[in-house]
Structure 1
Amino acid sequence: MEHRTEAALRAIRRIMRAADQAERQLVTATGLTPSQLLLLQEVARRGQATPSTLASAVQFSQATVTNLVDRLEVLGLVERRRGDQDRRQIWVVITAKGRETLAKAPDMLQDLFSGRFQHLPDWEQAMVVAMLERLSALLDAEKIDAAPLIDTGGPIDRLP
């Protein structure tokens, strides 16, 4: 039984290391964390969006989106603009530098996962989801709010 526990822990560790390596590769290529890149991709996809629309789309809290937009704005990748018809409304718009950054960004780990996961048969997808939810429960992590993003959230996430 101990062999299975060790095998499970090794698999968890490999997943964590893959996420860490992918995050470091992304930071090296773009200077962005996975959360920042995901938000930048969403702004680019929409052309412009309000922070609340972005929060809903990427499943982050409003406060997290505000923080991420602040960082992206400091880096010159997005701009905040007031609405033409309602000056109280704020729109987030991608800049040319933001588009250049997206063009050089490597594929994110969740894109690799999503592409491969979608090709699994339905029964296997259900089995993987059930196993991951069970693992989350075993680690007392099922109540932690999380976006559909593979992101270690470690010290790298504290970049400007």
Structure 2
Amino acid sequence: MAESKSTTRNAHALSMLQALRRLQQAADVHSKSLGRDGELTPLQVLILQVVALEGEITAGQLAGQVALSQSSLSGALARLESQRLLTRRRDADDRRKQWLSLNDAGYEALRDGPELLPEHALERFAGLPEWEQHTILAGLLRAAELFETPTTASVEEAES
């Protein structure tokens, strides 16, 4: 019985790794094409899209949404600010907090720039029934959670 469980677990692990590898390879190919074709990196486009969606967001909140450390995000924000695509302002009450918003040039860059995902993927996804779109999104979000390194607090919660 234990061998069967182990075999199933290994088969699932192999299938997950193969699927993740295919996704990673497709993302890398698209990311390289974006880098060649545009002035902005995929990460910069992602940052601009999140800020545009939120209207105004703190750097800390943005770091969480784009899965970057504060220090890595700081460099990307400096480049976007130097290109006059976004503005940073200090919070009046908490000077450690920075609020981010897009400038007109940032909205223009998003409007005129490339899609973050390949057009064919967006079209295929849009052609799926709504229930399947929700299922795929839920699966991707759940997979991301499963692969994140557990923090001490979440490990303790899972064990209790």
* Superposed pair shares fold, TM > 0.5: yes
Distance 2:118 2:61 in 1: 22
Distance 2:104 2:82 in 1: 14
Distance 1:67 1:43 in 2: 16
The alignment partner of 1:35 has SS state of: helix
| TM-score where L is the length of structure 2 | 0.57
Matched with 2:41 is 33
The answer to whether the 8 A contact 1:29-1:105 is kept is no
Distance 1:87 1:121 in 2: 43
Q: 1:23-79 CA deviation, whole Å, 9 max, x = no partner?
A: 233234431111111111111111111111111222322222222212211222111
Query: In structure 2, what residue type is equivalent to 1:96?
Result: D
Instruction: Structure 2 unaligned segments of length 5 or more: list them.
Output: 1-14, 151-160
The answer to whether the 8 A contact 2:90-2:98 is kept is yes
Matched with 2:98 is 90
The alignment partner of 2:33 has SS state of: helix
Largest Rg, 1 or 2: 2
Distance 1:76 1:115 in 2: 35
The answer to whether the 8 A contact 1:29-1:104 is kept is no
Distance 1:114 1:58 in 2: 24
Query: In structure 1, what residue type is equivalent to 2:93?
Result: D
Shift >6 Å, 4+ stretches = 11-14
The alignment partner of 1:109 has SS state of: coil
Structure of greater relative contact order (alpha carbons < 8 Å, 6+ residues apart): 1
| TM-score where L is the length of structure 1 | 0.57
Instruction: Structure 1 unaligned segments of length 5 or more: list them.
Output: 1-7, 134-141, 146-160
Distance 1:14 1:79 in 2: 37
